[in-house]
Structure 1
Amino acid sequence: MGYQAHFRVWRGTDDGELRDYTVEVNEGEVVLDIIHRLQATQAPDMAVRWNCKAGKCGSCSAEINGRPRLMCMTRMSTFTEDETITVTPMRTFPLIKDLVTDVSFNYVKAREIPAFTPPAGLEPGEYRMQQVDVQRSQEFRKCIECFLCQDTCHVIRDHEDNKEAFSGPRFLMRVAELEMHPLDEARNRPEEARGEHGLGMCNITKCCTEVCPEHIHITDNALIPLKERVADRRYDPLRRLFKKKD
C-alpha cells in the first residue's frame, strides 16, 4: 500500500536551493524510483544521472540524508513514512545542475596511473599466476566507479588544495591492485603512490570503505598494505644496509 512521502531535493546550480515535494511511494521502491516519479509528475526539468538501476553502473550517486549512496540501491523501506528524505548532489565534485556533478576529476586521476605492464615477450594468453594471487586482488575488480569513496574522502572533500596531489581511495586501490599482481613490471608503484598519488595524506579513517556499495575493504585490503609496502621500501634497515633496489 502506498503513502505520501516528503522529499527535499536540491534544485539548480551552486546558488540553487532545496525544494520540498510530496510524492507517492509504493511498496518495494527505491529512491531513484521516487526521483523518476518527481520528474514525470512535478519536475520535468530535474537533472539526474542514471543508467542501469541495478547497482552496477555507479551513475546515480548522490547524498541521501547527508550520506553518499546509490539512489538505485537505497530502499524506501529503510525510512519511516513520516521521515523527510533529503537528496543532494555529491558535495566533493563541481555541481552541473540539480543532482548531476562533474566527476571528470576522477578520469584525470585514472589516466595518471601507468597501465599493467607484463614481462617482455609474454603475450596475452600466456599469463600464469597462482590462484591465491588472483583472489588477492579480485575484490578490487568489483569496483563500479560510483566515486562514492572519492566523495566521502575528507582529504578531497574538505581540502580543495589537495585535489591535484591526491588521487583518492579509488585510484590508490587501483595502484594497490597492480602492485599485488605478480606479473606487473611497471615502475615502483609504492613509491609512485607515495609521491605522485599522495598516499601519505590518507589517514585510514575507513570512511571510503563504509560507503562502498560493493563492500570492498578499501582501507584494510588496499590502502594499509600499500602503506606497508612503502614503509618497507623506504625504511627497512636491511634494505638500506644492502641498498637493495626495487
Structure 2
Amino acid sequence: MAYDAKFKVWRGDADGGALQDYTVEVNEGEVVLDIIHRIQATQASDLAVRWNCKAGKCGSCSAEVNGRPRLMCMTRMSTFTEDETVTVTPMRTFPVIRDLVTDVSFNYVKAREIPSFTPPPGLEPGEYRMQQVDVERSQEFRKCIECFLCQNVCHVIRDHEDNKQAYAGPRFFIRLAELEMHPLDVADRRDLGQDDMGLGYCNITKCCTEVCPEGIHITDNAIIPMKERVAGHRYDPLVWLGDKLFRRRS
C-alpha cells in the first residue's frame, strides 16, 4: 500500500548546504535509494547521488540515514513508520562533492600504501598450497565491498581530520590482517600496521563492525589479532632475545 513519506535530504556542495524537505510517494517493498531516485525524477532533477548495483554489492550508495551510516539500497522503508521523517545526509567523514556524493579518494590513497601479496621466492603461480582453515580465515575479509561505512563511522578520522595522514582505518586493517595471516605471504606487515597505518590509534570500540553490511567481524577477527601480533613482535621478551641473538650471529 502506497503512502506519502516526509524526507529531509541534504543539498549543497563543498561550500555548504542545508536539509531540504520533500514529500514523496512510497510503495511496498521499496528501499531508501528508490525514494531518492523518485525525488530525483520528480522533484529535484539535479540531486546528486552515487549508486551502481542496487543490490548491496558495489558499496556505492553509502550515506547516513537518520544519522546512521547505511547502504541506501539495503535500507528498507518498512523499517520506518509512515509518519516518521527520514533524513538522508552524506557520509560525514569525507569531503562533500555535491549533495549525497562525497570524495572518498582518501581510501584509495591508503590502499596504494599497502604492499601487495608477496609469495616466497621461487614459488610459481599454480604451486600455492594452503590448508582449508587458512583459506576460510582470510575469506571473511575478502567479502569487503568497499562501501567505506566502517571508515565513515570510525571516530579516529570522523572526529579528527588531522589523523588521516597517519591512520588507515578499519577497511585497511582487515587488508593488512588478511595478508599477515596468509601462510604464503612472506612480507612482515606488523611494523607497517603500527608505524605507518596507525593501528595503535584504534581503541576497538567495534563501531566499524556494527555498520558493516557484509557482517565482517572487523574488530574481533582482524584488528585485535593484528594488535596481538604487534605486541608479541615488539614486547615479548623471548622474541626480543631471539632477535638479539639472531642479529649477533648474523
Normalised-by-shorter TM-score class: over 0.9
> Deviation digits for residues 179-227 of structure 1, max 9, x if unmatched?
00000012x2011100010000000000000000000000000000000
Residues in 2 aligned to 1:86 and 1:78: alpha-carbon distance in whole angstroms: 13
Residues in 1 aligned to 2:118 and 2:124: alpha-carbon distance in whole angstroms: 11
Q: Which amino acid aligns with 1:119?
A: P
Structure 2 SS opposite 1:167 = coil
Residues in 2 aligned to 1:238 and 1:108: alpha-carbon distance in whole angstroms: 37
Matched, 1:221 2:229: no
Calculate the TM-score normalised by the size of structure 1. 0.98
Residues in 2 aligned to 1:127 and 1:55: alpha-carbon distance in whole angstroms: 32
Mean Cα displacement is larger for which, 10-19 or 45-54?
10-19
Query: Which runs of structure 2 are paired with 1:39-58 in the superposition (5 Å)?
Result: 39-58=40-59
Mean Cα displacement is larger for which, 117-126 or 65-74?
117-126
Residues in 2 aligned to 1:68 and 1:79: alpha-carbon distance in whole angstroms: 16
Residues in 2 aligned to 1:34 and 1:91: alpha-carbon distance in whole angstroms: 21
Q: Which residue of 2 aligns with 1:7?
A: 7
Q: Which residue of 2 aligns with 1:82?
A: 83
Residues in 2 aligned to 1:237 and 1:11: alpha-carbon distance in whole angstroms: 56
Tell me how far 1:242 sits from its aligned partner.
2.3
Tell me how far 1:143 sits from its aligned partner.
0.2
Query: Which runs of structure 2 are paired with 1:113-152 in the superposition (5 Å)?
Result: 113-152=114-153
Q: Which residue of 2 aligns with 1:172?
A: 173
Tell me how far 1:122 sits from its aligned partner.
1.1
Mean Cα displacement is larger for which, 206-215 or 117-126?
117-126
Structure 1 SS opposite 2:25 = strand
Tell me how far 1:121 sits from its aligned partner.
1.3
> Deviation digits for residues 11-59 of structure 1, max 9, x if unmatched?
0114111000000000000000000000000000000000000000000
Tell me how far 1:3 sits from its aligned partner.
0.2
Residues in 1 aligned to 2:87 and 2:120: alpha-carbon distance in whole angstroms: 51
Structure 1 SS opposite 2:140 = helix
Is there any run of 5+ residues in structure 1 with no aligned partner, and where?
none
Structure 2 SS opposite 1:243 = helix
Residues in 1 aligned to 2:177 and 2:220: alpha-carbon distance in whole angstroms: 11
> Deviation digits for residues 93-152 of structure 1, max 9, x if unmatched?
000000000000000000000000111111111110111110111100000000000000
Q: Which amino acid aligns with 1:197?
A: M
Mean Cα displacement is larger for which, 116-125 or 54-63?
116-125
Structure 2 SS opposite 1:12 = strand
Q: Which residue of 2 aligns with 1:65?
A: 66
Structure 1 SS opposite 2:152 = helix
Tell me how many residue pairs correspond in the alignment: 245
Residues in 1 aligned to 2:122 and 2:44: alpha-carbon distance in whole angstroms: 58
Tell me how far 1:243 sits from its aligned partner.
2.1
Q: Which residue of 2 aligns with 1:204?
A: 204
Structure 1 SS opposite 2:86 = strand
Residues in 1 aligned to 2:123 and 2:186: alpha-carbon distance in whole angstroms: 11
Matched, 1:97 2:101: no
Residues in 2 aligned to 1:209 and 1:230: alpha-carbon distance in whole angstroms: 21
Residues in 1 aligned to 2:243 and 2:221: alpha-carbon distance in whole angstroms: 28
Quote the RMSD (CA, aligned, Å). Answer: 1.1
Residues in 2 aligned to 1:70 and 1:164: alpha-carbon distance in whole angstroms: 26
Q: Which amino acid aligns with 2:38?
A: R
